[in-house]
């Protein structure tokens, strides 16, 4: 049952980021199915679930989110949101050894799935491979389907095609990868599969992915002057190479550094999170007060497009955004590693600004396990977890 539970978690992570296999199926129904399927699995594990203050805070924060969603949107939205965040309770109930095993499993198998995806991607850069037909998803240009890799017909217009694996966007891939690297604390020695995940972010040429990876690595790993100097040296070489190799006519410079140039309309050149109609509606909401509750049930919402915090506020309101933040705070364990916790919260906020998907299981899974695996447990808890871990092979 433990193996089945791990598989369900892996599938849930992939579904939440819109893996192409299930991308055209309503994600809310898939989430409900995954959540319900996890219950018999976790009920057969040697876990003693305690209703303590920690669990009480999480349930209260979840209920507030659900109530707000029902009031501001619909009963269906509230139910869907409940099942989105429910698995957090499953994850915190696991003993530490189980949490560690689950994180290793998902990290490993995502990397294994990415290996053939990367190979096909690299081959497609040089030769035309036979595909398995065309995959069509609403809101995107058609994809050439290679099962493990969706080749975007839109990306072919760039200097180099960006790697998106089996997801519709490189940004989706990079988010999943960055949060998993955070949960594993960038420990490449302990978990060599992280190299595959890092390589995937590199070839995604995702501006957000690069910024999040760099920032999270700095926050977690650069804790001395010596490390800072070494990092600065290598980073300086990297920037110099990108700017001057082929006189800047290379993918890193064109897809990353040139997109960091200031733009008076978008802030930075690479800001593709919001469009003019979205900015217009957001400005209007700020003026008439709709920003507090959102404008989901009002006119012109079909005109907005993008994926950042403005979209989230227009849909759920500032109140909805605040309640999500409260939920993320409620998940913090009783005895956290505050350096790690604050670093992760900062990355969550940074990611939310340009890709506001806090209900994705790809976010919640890595966030919860990262915080709890890096928390400070007392001796009694650790001894009990060691006893419980004997059932891991069952």
pTM across the whole model? 0.86
pLDDT in tens, 278-317: 777 888 888 888 888 887 655 555 666 667 888 888 888 9
Q: Please give the Cα distance from 394 to 321 (Å, whole number).
A: 41
Q: Please give the Cα distance from 357 to 272 (Å, whole number).
A: 16
Task: Give 307 or 68, the one with higher predicted confidence.
Answer: 68
- At 110, is the secondary structure helix, strand, or coil? helix
* CA-wise closest residue to 143 among 122, 115, 120, 164: 164
pLDDT in tens, 72-95: 888 988 999 999 999 999 999 999
Q: Could you tell me the residue range of the domain that residue 382 belongs to?
A: 2-393
Query: 108-122, 298-312, 325-339, 357-371: which has the minimum mean pLDDT?
Result: 298-312
Confidence bin at 238 (pLDDT 50/70/90): low
Task: Give 173 or 270, the one with higher predicted confidence.
Answer: 173
Confidence bin at 50 (pLDDT 50/70/90): confident
Provide the pLDDT for residue 262: 47
pLDDT in tens, 341-387: 999 999 999 999 888 899 999 999 999 999 999 998 643 454 444 44
pLDDT (mean) for 153-175 = 83
- b (16+ CB within 10 A) / e for 193-217: bbebbbbbbebbbbbbbbbbbebbb
Q: Please give the Cα distance from 55 to 63 (Å, whole number).
A: 12
pLDDT over threshold 60, residue 229? yes
Looking at the structure of the chain, the number of domains it has is 1
pLDDT (mean) for 33-60 = 86
pLDDT in tens, 212-228: 999 999 999 877 667 66
DSSP 263: E
Considering the chain, what is the average pLDDT of its residues?
84
């Amino acid at each position: 049952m433990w193996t089945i539970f791990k598989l369900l978690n892996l599938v849930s992570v992939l579904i939440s980021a819109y893996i192409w296999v299930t991308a055209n199926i309503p994600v809310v129904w898939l989430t409900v199915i995954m959540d319900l399927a996890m219950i018999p699995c976790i009920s057969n594990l040697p876990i003693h679930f305690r209703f303590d203050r920690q669990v009480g805070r999480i349930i209260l924060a979840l209920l507030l989110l659900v109530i707000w969603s029902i009031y501001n949107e619909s009963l269906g939205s509230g139910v869907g949101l409940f099942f989105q965040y429910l698995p957090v309770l499953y994850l915190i109930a696991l003993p530490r050894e189980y949490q560690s095993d689950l994180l290793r499993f998902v990290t490993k198998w995502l990397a294994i799935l990415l290996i053939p995806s990367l190979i096909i991607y690299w081959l497609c850069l040089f030769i035309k491979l036979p595909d398995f037909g065309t995959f069509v998803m609403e809101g995107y240009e058609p994809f050439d389907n290679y099962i493990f890799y969706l080749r975007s017909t839109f990306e072919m217009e760039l200097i180099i095609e960006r790697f998106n694996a089996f997801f519709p966007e490189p940004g989706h891939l990079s988010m999943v990868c960055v949060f998993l690297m955070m949960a594993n604390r960038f420990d490449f020695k302990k978990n060599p599969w992280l190299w595959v995940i890092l390589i995937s972010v590199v070839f995604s040429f995702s501006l957000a992915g690069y910024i999040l990876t760099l920032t999270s690595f700095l926050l977690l790993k650069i804790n001395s002057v010596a490390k800072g100097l070494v990092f600065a040296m290598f980073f300086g070489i990297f920037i110099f190479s990108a700017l001057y190799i082929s006189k800047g006519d290379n993918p890193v410079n064109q897809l990353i550094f040139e997109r960091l140039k200031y733009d008076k309309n978008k802030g930075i050149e690479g800001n593709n999170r919001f469009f003019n109609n979205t900015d217009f509606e957001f400005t209007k909401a700020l003026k008439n007060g709709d920003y507090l509750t959102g404008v989901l049930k009002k006119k012109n919402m079909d005109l907005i497009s993008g994926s950042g915090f403005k979209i989230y506020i227009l849909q759920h309101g500032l109140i909805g955004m605040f309640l999500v933040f409260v939920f993320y705070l409620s998940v913090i364990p009783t005895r956290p590693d505050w350096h790690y916790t604050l670093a992760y919260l900062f990355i969550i906020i940074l990611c939310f600004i340009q890709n506001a998907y806090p209900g994705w299981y790809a976010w919640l899974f890595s966030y919860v396990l990262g915080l709890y695996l890096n928390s400070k447990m007392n001796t009694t808890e650790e001894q009990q977890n060691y006893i419980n871990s004997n059932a891991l092979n069952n």
